[in-house]
Amino acid sequence: KNQVEQSPQSLIILEGKNCTLQCNYTVSPFSNLRWYKQDTGRGPVSLTIMTFSENTKSNGRYTATLDADTKQSSLHITASQLSDSASYICVVSGRGSTLGRLYFGRGTQLTVWP
């Protein structure tokens, strides 16, 4: 069964600290993996998209890694800011997919405290 599991479910860190969010998936065949940021009360916003051949991609203070062999991805946030408080969603697309084959994780709720 194609699934996307994220951990931890929630995380609290202090402003300025780094953190890493995890995503494990069983989607096969694999096409790409996306990380989204969703602020409370708003729609998700894309942070990164990685294909099978990419193992790291950065977007400012956000760095995503992908290990297609172990089917794991991580999102590392550097020097966290209060505005990083949000839900971070991992989404995996199956190869040859249309929109009907996007598999969504349940998200990690990150809270950054001053």
Partner 1 sequence: NAGVTQTPKFRVLKTGQSMTLQCAQDMNHEYMSWYRQDPGMGLRLIHYSVGAGITDQGEVPNGYNVSRLKKQNFLLGLESAAPSQTSVYFCASSYPFSTDTQYFGPGTRLTVL
Please select the residue that binds partner 1; options are 19, 93, 108, 112, rule is CB under 8 A.
Answer: 93
Q: Is 107 in the site for partner 1 (CB under 8 A)?
A: yes
Contact present, 63 and 8 (Cβ < 8 Å)? no
**Residues numbered 51-80 forming contacts with partner 1, rule: CB under 8 A:** 51
Nearest residue (CB) to partner 1, 10 versus 81: 10
If binding means CB under 8 A, how many residues of this protein chain bind partner 1?
Answer: 25
Q: HEC states along the chain?
A: CCCEEEECCEEEEECCCCEEEEEEECCCCEEEEEEEEECCCCCCEEEEEEECCCCEEEECCEEEEEECCCCEEEEEECCCCHHHCEEEEEEEEECCCCHHHEEECCCEEEEEEC
Please select the residue that binds partner 1; options are 2, 17, 58, 106, rule is CB under 8 A.
Answer: 106
Please select the residue that binds partner 1; options are 14, 29, 43, 69, rule is CB under 8 A.
Answer: 43
Please select the residue that binds partner 1; options are 22, 24, 31, 74, rule is CB under 8 A.
Answer: 31
List interacting residues with partner 1 (CB under 8 A): 4, 31-32, 34, 41-46, 49, 51, 89, 93, 95-100, 102, 104-107
